[in-house]
Amino acid sequence: MTTMRAAVLRKWNDLAVEQIPIPDPAPGEVLLRVRACGLCGTDLKMVSGAFQERGWPPKLPFVIGHEWSGEVVALGEGLDDLELQPGDKVVAENHVGCGRCPMCRRGRYNLCEKAGTPGYRLYGHTAPGALAEYAVRPAQMLHKLPESIGPLEGALVNQGSLGVHALRRVEFLPGSTAAVFGPGLLGLLTAAVASASGAARIIMVGRGSRLDLALKMGCDEVVDYEKEDPVAAVKRLTAGRGVDYVFDCTGNPNVPAQAIGALRRGGRAAILGLTGGKRSEIDVDRLTLDEIDVMGIRSSPNAYPAMIALMRSGKVDVSPLITQVYPLEAVGEALAALESRDAVRPIVEI
């Protein structure tokens, strides 16, 4: 067999399942059978062409998909001493840095200075994604999954790892308070990781039925921003002081100002969403006078093993988040469910 089924983006807003060649693993690469692939807001924007200027994707046709899990099929040349064997279940990181620039050498390969050159790849964005039966990846981007983590759960490791990276960046301390804005998959997993990391109290800001899911994922309080001003609500819940940390998981340009408004003096804000180029207005005097730290969070360098360990131990249970699963042929339906907010994370089983 030399071809595989794949969801191919041939023109904007048109994802069609068709047969394309199975990729060959180059030296140092591994051929993988994809088992499950989640679809996120970035995928929606890519399908619509909203990230064209950024070069995501660089050209059409293109295969998207960057939140996935799979199984090792075959090893390329030069991997004789690799610990992975055919049949092993794995997840794959997407940022492949050059390995040589100052950022890569500090372990911050998500900020590789060669971004935009052939030495750098961001799979599912600038290099082929995983919404297909097979994919190839450099061996160093793979992490083995234990037997207890199934393929659908494995597809959530990517977003959970982003939460792990955010908590590390803000130097999250046990016993502290946090507010998470945006109960999408990323916000819910960030809350769950914060809970597992010793948060004393987590407040989720959002709306609708996803707030019920937030309570299942370790949040202590929820604020419906359609019913109450979120900054006033967080202040009310924290004796007027504000929380120690905020995590903006919305990608909405109006939210950073609210998130910063909900912080106590000396608090830290992590911004995890992309607005698609829109600008935000924030109160700069407040940053200075109250020594507020604002941090951007990009991807999840070195964080996959921690997320896998949290899931394996049961400290983070992702099962309430797996609600909508689609076959590859229904990828259009999966995207529509995401767009209409019906699904927190539609997962395509392949």
Residue 75 touching Zn ion (CB under 5 A)? no
Instruction: Output the 3-class SS for 134-168.
Output: EEEEEHHHEEECCCCCCHHHHCCHHHHHHHHHHHH
Residue 101 touching Zn ion (CB under 5 A)? yes
Residue 97 touching Zn ion (CB under 5 A)? yes
Residue 115 touching Zn ion (CB under 5 A)? no
Residue 129: φ, ψ to 5°: -90, -160
Residue 142's beta-bridge partner residues?
92
Residue 131 touching Zn ion (CB under 5 A)? no
Distance CA 173, CA 171 (A): 6
We find the least distance from the C-beta atom of residue 284 to Zn ion, in angstroms, to be 30
Nearer to Zn ion, 120 or 134 (CB): 120
We find the least distance from the C-beta atom of residue 97 to Zn ion, in angstroms, to be 4
Nearer to Zn ion, 263 or 321 (CB): 321
Half-sphere exposure (Cβ direction) of 90: Cα atoms closer than 13 Å: 29
Give the one residue of 98, 162, 189, 331 binding Zn ion; rule: CB under 5 A.
98
Q: Retrieve residue 189's tokens.
A: 């997993």
Alpha helices by DSSP H, the chain = 41-48, 102-105, 151-154, 157-169, 185-196, 210-216, 230-237, 255-261, 284-289, 304-313, 331-339
We find the least distance from the C-beta atom of residue 67 to Zn ion, in angstroms, to be 5
Q: Retrieve residue 309's tokens.
A: 């360990």
We find the least distance from the C-beta atom of residue 180 to Zn ion, in angstroms, to be 17
Give the one residue of 36, 42, 155, 163 binding Zn ion; rule: CB under 5 A.
42
Q: Which span (34-42, 49-57, 162-170, 245-253) binds Zn ion, by CB under 5 A? A: 34-42
Give kind and range of the element (H or E) at residue 29: strand 29-38
We find the least distance from the C-beta atom of residue 277 to Zn ion, in angstroms, to be 17
Residue 218 touching Zn ion (CB under 5 A)? no
The residue ranges that bind Zn ion (CB under 5 A) are: 40, 42, 97-98, 101, 104, 112, 114
